[in-house]
Amino acid sequence: MNNILIKNGLVVDTEWMRHSDILISGSKIKRVAPFIDYDTLPPDTTVVRADGLCVLPGIIDAHTHYHLVSRGTVTADSFREGSRLAAFGGVTTVVDFADDNKVSLLDSLHQRRKEMVPMAIDYALHQGVYKYRSDIKKELESIKRAGVGTLKIFTTYKDVGYLVDNRDELKSIFKDAKDLGLMVTVHCEDDEIISTISASWKGTYKPIDHASLRPAEAEAKAIEYVGNIAGELGMPVYIVHLSSKKGLEAVRQLRMNGVKVFVETTPHYLFLTKEKLEGADGPLYVMTPPLRSAEDNEALQEALVNGEIQVVATDHCSFTREQKLESDDCRTIYPGIPGTEEMLPLIHTFALTSGKLSLSQIVNLLSTGPAKLFGLYPEKGSLEVGTDADITIFDPDCSWTISKDTIHSASGYSAYEGFNVTGKVIMTYLRGRLIMGDDIYLGLNGDGRFLRAKR
Ligand code: URP
Ligand code: ZN
Ligand code: ZN
């Protein structure tokens, strides 16, 4: 059996930080103690010194689109590339998405699971629901039995067939989800606001116009809409990739009305502004919802610090530079950017520069929080004895510059090119096995496991 002692790292969980030793035995955490004596170790134990390093539960990216087939093309990072770049980012679990083929949710789920077999890190799935059908409760039951704990709903993308636009039908899906204990997550942009603006638009369709064509008001209105449905049913709702101050204000209003709203945001809405959409590289920064203003960044940063945001995830949806630059018309540029690998260093750098976010909060936002919300805890998102030995060893002092040459996405670019960050992942363990160490990738395709949500 594989025995590893991680010695004298700064072990961080959501409660506290302390210098501790962690003994891994096989795929599980066997002991956590301030000092584990060498004399007590099994004979073949490998000792890994972690002096000066942080030891975190494996990071979870709860919003990824690896190998997304969309708009007649496919994203750059498939499951092999996605697993590899995730390992470099200290990410040991992702929660990706199964599309809805509108015939059978279970078949859609099985299809996605089959595609994901090459994964080298663990993964769970959110199930898209793009169409109401009269027997949908049975379908939802079947995907729950198959291990899915969350649904993904869109309030936009009518043009590509993702929108459930009848309120009663949407409410009925929410009600079924509540009865079955499934979490409903929603991409919030009001389709009507977007189509009204678009119908009277006299401007150009440059990348920068993307921000005007899909304004923050659309996000706020959709949040209010789905929040009210959840409120009427007395159930929670999870808002994916919150991008704006107006959206945040809508969340606050719902919470004041007693609705339980969970919020996810992404590094790009925290640290990038729509000015990135100007200039020749503008298409590289097109994603939906669009980038907003510095004021929006600040509002979301403040919400992060205050505990108003529960999860940071990336919405990793990477197209190559060439794919992105095929068009400079914001209606046809493939939407989405890479981000899984940069997430932890970016959030850690914000924590250092603002002085307002602790390592424990980072662990909560990037690991424990999503693990709990998506039914993966405590096997994932914790360093408790008996759970999966998913461990990220992180040098909090290492300064480096993000660039296409220092990260591993097959997209060939980073949206954070030139960002100086502090904090680097040194080693990533998945279930007791080193999958990245000293800049060498050791992941095994096919070794990733599908995680059944236990909501
Ligand atoms: O532009 C984005 N975010 N692409 C990924 C799909 C989505 O809407 O989340
Ligand atoms: Zn989305
Ligand atoms: Zn997404």
Look-up of token digits 């594989």: 2
Rounded to two decimals, the pTM is 0.98
Q: 414 is written with which tokens? A: 């980073």
Closest CA to 366 of 267, 242, 300, 244: 267
- The per-residue pLDDT for 166 is 95
Beta carbons within 8 Å of 87's beta carbon, 6+ residues apart: 120, 121, 428, 430, 435, 436, 441, 442, 443
H/E stretch holding 296 reads helix 294-306
Q: Please report which ligand is nearest the Cα atom of 317.
A: 1
User: 287 CA distance to ligand 1 centroid (A)?
Assistant: 6
Q: 263 is written with which tokens? A: 């919020």
Q: Please report which ligand is nearest the Cα atom of 313.
A: 3
Reduced to 3 states (helix: H, G, I; strand: E, B; else coil), residue 249 is: helix
Taking CA atoms only, the protein residue closest to ligand 1 atom 9 is: 315
CA angle 83, 268, 337 (to 5 degrees): 50
The pLDDT confidence band at residue 1, using thresholds 50, 70 and 90, is confident
The pLDDT confidence band at residue 398, using thresholds 50, 70 and 90, is very high
Taking CA atoms only, the protein residue closest to ligand 1 atom 2 is: 336
User: 70 CA distance to ligand 1 centroid (A)?
Assistant: 10
Q: Is the pLDDT of residue 455 over 90?
A: no
pLDDT tens for residues 147-177? 999 999 999 999 889 999 999 999 999 999 9
Q: What is the mean pLDDT of residues 111-134?
A: 98
Q: What is the mean pLDDT of the chain?
A: 97
Taking CA atoms only, the protein residue closest to ligand 1 atom 5 is: 336
Cβ proximity of 454 and 375 under 8 Å: yes
Q: How many CA atoms lie within 13 A of 281 on its CB side?
A: 13
Q: Residue 168 and residue 11: Cα distance in Å, rounded?
A: 48
Q: Residue 96 and residue 452: Cα distance in Å, rounded?
A: 13
Cβ proximity of 447 and 120 under 8 Å: yes
Question: To the nearest whole percent, how much of the chain has pLDDT over 70?
Answer: 100
Q: 43 is written with which tokens? A: 């004979």
Per DSSP, the residues of 256-277 read: HTT--EEEEE-HHHHH-BGGGG
Q: How many CA atoms lie within 13 A of 170 on its CB side?
A: 24
The number of the ligand 1 atom at minimal distance from the alpha carbon of 240 is: 9
Q: Residue 234 and residue 403: Cα distance in Å, rounded?
A: 46
Instruction: Catalogue the E-assigned strands of 71-157.
Output: 73-74, 91-98, 122-128, 150-154
User: 290 CA distance to ligand 1 centroid (A)?
Assistant: 10
Q: What is the mean pLDDT of residues 49-73?
A: 97
- The per-residue pLDDT for 363 is 98
Look-up of token digits 């992105």: 324
Cβ proximity of 42 and 30 under 8 Å: no
Going 243 to 244 to 250 to 254, the CA torsion angle's sign is positive
Q: 325 is written with which tokens? A: 């630059």
The pLDDT confidence band at residue 71, using thresholds 50, 70 and 90, is confident
Beta carbons within 8 Å of 247's beta carbon, 6+ residues apart: 188, 216, 219, 220, 223, 239
- The per-residue pLDDT for 349 is 98
216: how many CB neighbours lie within 10 A of its CB? 22
Mutate to test the pocket of ligand 1, among 61, 65, 272 (most ligand atoms within 8 A of CB): 65
Closest CA to 311 of 82, 68, 64: 64
Q: Is the pLDDT of residue 193 over 80?
A: yes
pLDDT tens for residues 291-316? 999 999 999 999 999 999 999 999 99
Beta carbons within 8 Å of 374's beta carbon, 6+ residues apart: 62, 95, 124, 149, 150, 183, 453, 455
Mutate to test the pocket of ligand 1, among 287, 314, 331, 340 (most ligand atoms within 8 A of CB): 287
Q: 298 is written with which tokens? A: 């600040």
317 lines ligand 1 (CB under 6 A): yes
Q: Is the pLDDT of residue 241 over 80?
A: yes
Taking CA atoms only, the protein residue closest to ligand 1 atom 7 is: 288
Closest CA to 302 of 217, 215, 242: 242
Closest CA to 351 of 245, 267, 273: 267
115: how many CB neighbours lie within 10 A of its CB? 16
DSSP state letter for 292: B
Q: 55 is written with which tokens? A: 């030891």
234: region left, alpha or beta (phi > 0 left; psi from -120 to 50 alpha):
left
Closest CA to 77 of 95, 65, 89, 60: 65
Is the bond preceding residue 43 a cis peptide, omega within 30 degrees? no
User: 64 CA distance to ligand 3 centroid (A)?
Assistant: 6
pLDDT tens for residues 266-294? 999 999 999 999 999 999 999 999 999 99
**How distant, in Å, are the alpha carbons of 65, 178, 219, 307, 381 from that of 292?**
22, 33, 12, 21, 31
182 lines ligand 1 (CB under 6 A): no
